[in-house]
Structure 1
Amino acid sequence: MVEKIKDDNSVSYVLGNTKIDIIAPKITKEKDLTIKKELNNLVSGIAAEIYKEKSK
Structure 2
Amino acid sequence: LVMPQKPVPVEAQPVLQPPDAPQPLDESSPAPAPVNTDTQPAPTTDQPASSGNER
TM-score if structure 1 supplies the norm length?
0.35
TM-score if structure 2 supplies the norm length?
0.36
Q: Greater share of helix residues, 1 or 2?
A: 2
Larger-gyration structure (1/2): 2
Higher relative contact order (CA 8 A, sep 6+): 1
